[in-house]
Amino acid sequence: MDNCSLPEVTILPSATKVKEGGSLMFECHVSGTPPPVASWRTERLHSRHVFERRVMVSTLVLVLQLLEVSSKDNLHNLTCEAENQAGPGEDMVQLDIEFPVRILFLRKAERQHHWCFPFAVDGNPEPTIQWLYNGKELTENRYTYTQLFPDTDDGSVKHGCLFLNKPTHLNNGVYTMVVRNVLGHDQANATGLFMNSPADNFDDGAIPVPTNTSNKHVTESKESRLFVISVAVGLAVFACAFLLVMLVVINRCGQHSKFGIHRSSVLGTEDDLALSLRFMNFGTNPPCTEDDSGLSSFVENPQYFCGIIKDKDMCVQNIKRQDIVLKWELGEGAFGKVYLAECANLSPDSDKMLVAIKTLKDANESTRQDFQREAELLTVLQHQHIVRFYGVCTDGEPLAMVFEYMRHGDLNRFLRAHGPDARILEEVKMPPLGQLTVPQMLHIAGQIASGMVYLASLHFVHRDLATRNCLVGEGLVVKIGDFGMSRDIYSTDYYRVGGRTMLPIRWMPPESIMYRKFTTESDIWSFGVVLWEIFTYGKQPWYQLSNSEAIECITQGRELERPRTCPKEVHLLMQGCWQREPQQRLVIKDIHSRLLALVKNPPLYLDILG
Ligand code: AMP
């Protein structure tokens, strides 16, 4: 095209400071050949606004008037877009709306690494924050300090915590947050109940406000001190006994394999979860009922998937039992043992191959049919980052599935064995690889993302993505090795809340916890948790919380903390996966390409603490 030029877009004026409730006027000047079409992007604007359109000589002028400017638009990037056959053009100005500071919330202290009073404040110009403890000024120090969380992606709202490091009953009381900016001030109270003191006889929630806390403790009698000490010793003995019991339980869980972990350490006992759900008001009816097909309503793999299988006319390979020689046990899932085996006649290139054999114990006619159906599904899933399925062995008992052998086992164990606590965890059997580096972690994450891109392209919802369900092979090759659908095939009881409940709640987004909604977007949330697992060397998400506390945190919108070894770019990815609105979460293709870019160009990361 002759005389063709890209649109030129300029917003006037570029200064945008105004007080809340005031008005602003902007002109967007657009020129270009051929004449571009142009518009303001106002769909996310809260302030009332009107448009006007003027055409000057060769320039189109779009006027946008903001009336009664809302503080919600502070820091909003006002954008004017234009396009012609030559391409697009745009200009942007950031709104700077001044308004009195206000406290959006201040909640009672909750336990994280340290105790935290979570708060959110909003105000422009930036407010100052001050704290009072029982009405008196609280001096911040290394044990009591305010911390704001960067990049919360919430406009000008600042989220943060007043942290208290190891507070005792001496710190119980009323904490007042006072915020000020030049346009106003606000304050709010929250209670901190960290430990019950025998001297303070109060119930949860009814915290007395001592008029002179320090004096009170100075004048404690010898008897009361003695009493405090004996209670403390009693508590310590109880804590030790409790720890011992926990160690025994954890030890037992450790002997189970992946499915075992689902049953116990990840999900806790059935009662624990049922309790949690009741606590969250989900549990009056059994949250998971059976539908007509007899499957739990958690069991919802799309019909569409079956269509694909039929279209492809898949054939599941039948492997003769006599071709399989078991070597030793690799682990045990909820539905049977997993063995390392040598298998003959699998491939024309080699006469014997190492394989992993998953057996199915106690098979009846219906589980046999389910087994066959899963085998058909697994036959369809073929990708370099999905563990390879070779076929089934159905002549005789037990029924078995034959998979490619992944030498380093499941990714969670692998991460722990290559993290700072490898010695404590005594994963001595692992080959020495040293501690994983950030580029290696990115490489692992990129491979899982690649497998997920493939599953999403088939509209397959995994529902249980976690590092324990990924496998590690030679040369740091990582593959997704276990599928959500295994649960429905092997046991429809698996997701029953009324019966045996084993939901991977720590990996689940709020909508899956509250409404049992599992989608490609809920898989994205889990992928964010997988990233977190990788960058914490296999820590359990919300390890410091019980199941019910984890449910409460997730549904309240709390996020897992940024791991120490995690570059900012990766933390942004995690946060993109943990958007509360499923539609606002990143899509797996973008996550994958961003990870690939980071693998090629690893971010410079200095662990200043370590
Ligand atoms: P699962 O029944 O899938 O939970 O597997 C139980 C355990 O067996 C896992 O934690 C792995 O350690 C091991 N395992 C499962 N599949 C394989 C495989 N293909 N290659 C090597 N080890 C495996």
pLDDT of residue 204: 34
For the record, the structure tokens of 527 come out as 């992928």
Bridge partners (DSSP) listed for residue 18: 97
Give CA–CA dist 435/342, Å, rounded. 32
Start-to-end C-alpha separation, the chain: 60
Task: State yes or no: 333 annotated in a binding site.
Answer: yes
The predicted-structure confidence for 82-119, as pLDDT tens digits, reads as follows 999 889 999 999 999 999 999 999 998 887 667 899 99
Q: Would the pTM of this model clear 0.85, i.e. be above it?
A: no
> Is 338 assigned a ligand-binding role in the annotation?
yes
Mutate to test the pocket of ligand 1, among 330, 357, 472, 486 (most ligand atoms within 8 A of CB): 330
Pairing mode of beta strands 115-124, 110-111: antiparallel
Residues with Cβ within 8 Å of 461's Cβ and at least 6 positions away in sequence, in order, are 301, 302, 455, 484, 518, 519, 520, 522, 523
Count Cβ neighbours within 10 Å for each residue of 85-118 and write b for 16 or more, e otherwise: eeeebbbebebbbbbbbbbeebeebbebebbbbb
Nearest CA to ligand 1 atom 19: 405
The CB of 91 under 6 Å from ligand 1? The reply is no
The number of the ligand 1 atom at minimal distance from the alpha carbon of 332 is 6
| pLDDT for position 293 | 28
Ligand 1: which of 338, 414, 482 to mutate, most ligand atoms within 8 Å of CB? 338
| Nearest by Cα to 443 from 403, 420, 415, 481 | 415
- Establish whether 337 is an annotated binding residue: yes
Q: Whose CA is nearest to atom 10 of ligand 1?
A: 258
Bridge partners (DSSP) of residue 5 are 33
* Contact assessment for residue 577 and residue 528, using Cβ atoms and an 8 Å cutoff: yes
pLDDT at position 394 is 85
Q: What is the pLDDT of residue 457?
A: 92
CA distance 179 to 158: 12
The finding on whether 80 has its CB within 6 A of some atom of ligand 1 is: no
Q: With CA atoms as reference, report the closest residue to 375 among 490, 472, 518, 523.
A: 490
Does 479 sit in the ligand 1 pocket, CB within 6 Å?
Answer: no
- Amino acid 361 reads K
CA of 410 to the centre of ligand 1 (A): 6
Q: Which residues of 336-357 are buried (b: 16+ CB within 10 A; e: fewer)?
A: bbbbbbbbeebeeeeeebebbb
**The predicted structure's pLDDT at residue 180:** 96
pLDDT of residue 132: 96
Q: What is the pLDDT of residues 369-412, one digit of tens each?
A: 777 777 887 888 899 999 999 999 988 888 899 999 999 999 99
Residue 588 to residue 164: CA distance in whole angstroms? 38
Low-confidence ranges of the chain (pLDDT < 50): 197-226, 228, 240, 245-312, 428, 484-498, 608-610
Site to substitute for ligand 1 among 471, 483, 489, most atoms within 8 A of C-beta: 471
> Does 89 contact ligand 1 (Cβ within 6 A)?
no
Asked if residue 405 has its Cβ within 6 Å of ligand 1, the reply is yes
Q: Whose CA is nearest to atom 1 of ligand 1?
A: 333
Q: Is the CB of 464 under 6 A from ligand 1?
A: no
Ramachandran bin of 476, using left for φ above 0, alpha for ψ from -120 to 50, beta for the remaining angles: left
Q: Which of 558, 563, 503, 512 is nearest to 533 (CA)?
A: 563
Order of strands, edge to edge, in the sheet holding 324-333?
A: 324-333, 336-344, 352-360, 399-404, 389-393
CA of 333 to the centre of ligand 1 (A): 8
Does the annotation list 239 as a binding residue?
no
How far apart, in whole angstroms, are the C-alpha atoms of residue 572 and residue 595? 11
Q: What pLDDT was estimated at residue 234?
A: 62
Residues classed as catalytic: 464
Residue 363: alpha-carbon gap to chain centroid: 36
Q: Give the DSSP H/E element, type plus range, for residue 365.
A: helix 365-380
Please give the single-letter amino acid code of residue 82.
A
Q: Is 332 annotated as a binding residue?
A: yes
User: Which atom of ligand 1 is least distant from the CA of 334?
Assistant: 2
Kindly give the distance from the C-alpha atom of residue 489 to the centroid of ligand 1, in angstroms, as a whole number: 17
